[in-house]
C-alpha cells in the first residue's frame, strides 16, 4: 500500500469511529430526555457539524441545514450546498467577498464560483451573477464548500450543522 491509500484508509476509519461515537452519545442523550422537550432533535435525525471531516457524509441522506436557530429543509447535498451558500451570500460583507472569488478558485477542470453558468457541469445560482459548481459527491461538495469557498471569505462554520437521516 502506498501512503495515499494508507491516508485514505485512516481518514475513512476516523470518520467511521467519529460516527460511532456520535451515535452512542446521541443514544445517551436520548435516554436523558425526560419527555418535557429537553431533547429537541427528533430521534430519526442526526445533526453533524459542517466543520467535521466530510468523509462522514458519504452515503448519508441530508434532511436539513441548521444555521444558528434557523432550520432549512433540504432534499439533497446540492440543497445543502445551495442553502449554506445563499445564507452566506445574504450578508453584504460575505456577498462582496464571494463576488471577488468568482473565477479565482478552481479544481483541475472547472471553477467553483463564476459570474455565469457557462462551462459548469451542474451550475447552482446563488445570486445575480454568482453561480457555484454543484457537480460533486457529498464529501467533495462539503470540502469545496468549507475549505475552498467559505474559509477564504471568513464565514464561521462553527454554528452550522447538517441534519442527517439516522
Every domain of the chain and the residues it spans: 42-165
- 113-114 vs 130-133, strand pairing mode: antiparallel
**pLDDT at 42 (0 to 100):** 61
Phi, psi of 19 (to 5 degrees): -60, -40
User: 3-class SS at 64?
Assistant: strand
Give the mean pLDDT of 9-15: 84
pLDDT value of position 27: 67
Cell numbers linked to 124: 447552482
pLDDT digits (tens, 9 = 90+) for 107-126: 777 889 999 988 888 999 99
pLDDT at residue 43, rounded to an integer: 66
Class of CATH domain 42-165: mainly alpha
Say which DSSP state 46 is in.
E
pTM of this prediction? Answer: 0.74
pLDDT tens per residue across span 46-93: 888 998 889 888 999 999 999 988 999 999 999 999 999 999 999 999
What percent of the chain has pLDDT above 70?
88
DSSP code, position 111? B
Could you say which DSSP state residue 166 is in? -
Amino acid at each position: 500500500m502506498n501512503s495515499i491509500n494508507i491516508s485514505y484508509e485512516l481518514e475513512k476509519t476516523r470518520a467511521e469511529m467519529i460516527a460511532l461515537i456520535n451515535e452512542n452519545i446521541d443514544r445517551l442523550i436520548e435516554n436523558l430526555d425526560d419527555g418535557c422537550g429537553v431533547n429537541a432533535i427528533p430521534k430519526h435525525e442526526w445533526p453533524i457539524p459542517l466543520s467535521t471531516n466530510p468523509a462522514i457524509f458519504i452515503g448519508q441522506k441530508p434532511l436539513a441545514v441548521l444555521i444558528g436557530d434557523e432550520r432549512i429543509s433540504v432534499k439533497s447535498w446540492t440543497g445543502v450546498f445551495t442553502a449554506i451558500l445563499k445564507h452566506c451570500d445574504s450578508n453584504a460583507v460575505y456577498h462582496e467577498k464571494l463576488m471577488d472569488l468568482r473565477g479565482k478558485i478552481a479544481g483541475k477542470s472547472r471553477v467553483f464560483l463564476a459570474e455565469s453558468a457557462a462551462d459548469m457541469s451542474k451550475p447552482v445560482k446563488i445570486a445575480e451573477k454568482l453561480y457555484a459548481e454543484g457537480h460533486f459527491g457529498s464529501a467533495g461538495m462539503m470540502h469545496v464548500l468549507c475549505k475552498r469557498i467559505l474559509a477564504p471569505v471568513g464565514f464561521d462554520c462553527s454554528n452550522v450543522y447538517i441534519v442527517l437521516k439516522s
